[in-house]
Every structure is written in structure tokens, then in C-alpha cells.
Amino acid sequence: MTDRYLSVDQVAELLGTSVRFPRRLIEERRIRYVKLGRHVRIPESVVEEFIRSRTVEPIRLRRTSLRRAA
């Protein structure tokens, strides 16, 4: 599988955040990245995995019949 390597700017655009957010993820080692000289690249699959791992599914509540006492 060939993976696209995204710049920090591209990751920020993909996530809809400022550039500061992916830079902080890199600094805190919360996301995998590749360092090529002075350039930092993040594999697209890593960004997708990051989004998937932080996706919160909705809670399905059972509807109970609420009746008022007369």
C-alpha cells in the first residue's frame, strides 16, 4: 500500500484546524510522523487512524414510556 505523505499545513487543512494543532501533536509525540531532513511529513493513513481513534459514537437511548401520574 502506498501512502501519501502530508505536510503539516496539509494535515491542518484536512483536520480543519490551525497549523499549531498538528505541530503540537508532533511535539507531544501523540501522532506518528516521518522526519526528512528539516521537513516533517505525516502519512495520510496515520491522520485517518488518528481521526478514527478519537471519533465518539452517539449513544442510543432506549425510549421508555413516561407517563404522568394523574
Q: Is 67 a domain residue?
A: no
Domain that holds residue 36: 5-53
Cell numbers for 58: 452517539
Question: pLDDT category, 12, cuts 50, 70, 90?
Answer: very high
Identify the pLDDT of residue 39. Answer: 96
Identify the pLDDT of residue 62. Answer: 78
Q: Give the tens place of pLDDT for each residue, 16-59.
A: 999 999 999 999 999 999 999 999 999 999 999 999 999 999 98
d(C-alpha 36, C-alpha 21), whole Å: 20
Q: Is 20 a domain residue?
A: yes
Q: Is 35 a domain residue?
A: yes
Q: Is 69 a domain residue?
A: no
Q: Is 61 a domain residue?
A: no
How many folded domains does the chain comprise?
1
Cell numbers for 25: 501533536
- Amino acid letter, residue 58: P
Q: Is 39 a domain residue?
A: yes
DSSP string, 3-69: --EE-HHHHHHHHTS-THHHHHHHHTT-S--EEETTEEEEEHHHHHHHHHHTPPPPP-PPP------
Identify the pLDDT of residue 2. Answer: 80
